[in-house]
């Protein structure tokens, strides 16, 4: 049986992103693109990335882009994710942190991004990832909550001009995940209802049997 390909999801967050100068690396950007236990409103549902969801995630080859523009050369990359990588990622109790080493001397786009972050013109990031496991709460409500239990890989982090979501940005696969979860819940309820009806019928049959036996 072939290996099932995991769906890639993209999430935007507005958070504190900082531009700094480092003696060793020069111009760097730091931030926390993935924050644990933070509830995000995705219009049709809420989403929470549970603490520990990144414990086994593959962070060894993540690209750093601007506005997800894959037609341009990445501004940094976490290849092998070690001290020599131009982007370093690590996970702590709060989520995933990044440190991006920008080549502002030789790359005009890197220079422009660094300046925009310094000025506060860009304050959001987006990341693309694959979900390994998830669960849902309050599926009976108008707005349930999805818990991302485990992320298998992160493939891209982008600095974004508009970190806030628009309804049209919520991908069809996200809405399909909600639909599938609700369908599974409905199927479970129907199965439970059938079981309950069968138990009730059997109870009445036994009552009638013993009543007849006493006569």
Q: What is the per-residue pLDDT across 140-152, written as a single tens digit (0 to 9) for each?
A: 888 999 999 999 9
- Domain residue spans in the chain? 8-166, 171-215
Instruction: Please answer whether residues 52 and 42 qualify as being in contact, where contact means their C-beta atoms are separated by less than 8 angstroms.
Output: no
Which residues fall within 8 angstroms of residue 114, CB to CB, at 6 or more apart?
19, 27, 29, 102, 104
Q: Is the pLDDT of residue 74 over 80?
A: yes
For Cα atoms 114, 120, 126, give the angle at the middle one, nearest 5 degrees. 75
- Report whether pLDDT(166) > 60: no
Note the pLDDT of residue 91: 96
At 168 the pLDDT is 42
Q: Give 81-90 pLDDT, tens digit per residue.
A: 998 899 999 9
Q: In the numeric block, which tokens belong to residue 53?
A: 């969801």
N-terminal to C-terminal alpha carbon distance within the chain: 62
Which region among 47-51, 130-134, 172-176 has the lowest average model confidence (pLDDT)?
A: 172-176
**Residue 15: DSSP 8-state:** -
Average pLDDT, the chain: 83
pLDDT exceeds cutoff 90 at 4: no
Helix locations, 120-171, DSSP H: none
**pLDDT value at position 5?**
55
CA distance 75 to 116: 15
Please list, residue by residue across 11-25, b when 16 or more beta carbons sit within 10 angstroms of its beta carbon and e when fewer do: bbbeeebebeeeeee
Residues in the chain, total: 215
- The confidence band for 6, taking pLDDT boundaries of 50, 70 and 90, is low
In the predicted structure, residue 2 carries a pLDDT above the cut 50: no
Cα dihedral value 65, 131, 152, 162, nearest 10:
20
The CA-based angle 149-158-4, given to 5 degrees, is 45
| Predicted local distance difference test score (pLDDT) of residue 163 | 73
CA distance 64 to 78: 8
Tell me: the pLDDT tens digits for 109-141? Answer: 999 999 999 998 888 888 999 999 999 999 888
Nearest-angstrom CA–CA distance, 162 and 126: 10
Lowest mean pLDDT among 24-28, 72-76, 86-90, 136-140: 24-28
Cα separation, 44 vs 196, in Å, equals 32
């Amino acid at each position: 049986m072939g290996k099932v390909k995991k769906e890639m999801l993209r999430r935007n967050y507005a958070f504190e992103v900082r531009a700094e100068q480092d003696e060793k690396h020069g111009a760097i950007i730091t931030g926390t693109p993935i924050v644990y236990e933070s509830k995000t409103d995705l219009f049709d549902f809420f989403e929470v990335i549970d603490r520990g969801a990144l414990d086994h995630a593959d962070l060894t080859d993540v690209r750093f882009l601007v506005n997800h523009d894959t037609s341009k050369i990445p501004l940094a990359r976490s290849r092998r994710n070690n001290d020599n990588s131009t982007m370093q990622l690590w996970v702590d109790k709060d989520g995933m942190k990044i440190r991006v080493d920008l080549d502002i001397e030789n790359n005009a786009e890197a220079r422009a991004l660094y300046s925009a972050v310094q000025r506060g013109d860009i304050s959001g990031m987006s990341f693309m990832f694959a979900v390994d496991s998830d669960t849902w709460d309050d599926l009976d409500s108008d707005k349930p909550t999805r818990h991302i239990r485990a992320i298998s890989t992160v493939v891209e982090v982008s600095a974004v001009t508009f970190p806030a979501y628009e309804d049209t940005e919520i991908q069809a696969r996200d809405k399909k995940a909600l639909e599938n979860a609700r369908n599974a819940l409905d199927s479970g309820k129907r199965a439970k209802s059938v079981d309950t009806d069968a138990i009730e019928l059997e109870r009445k049959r036994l009552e009638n049997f013993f009543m007849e036996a006493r006569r």
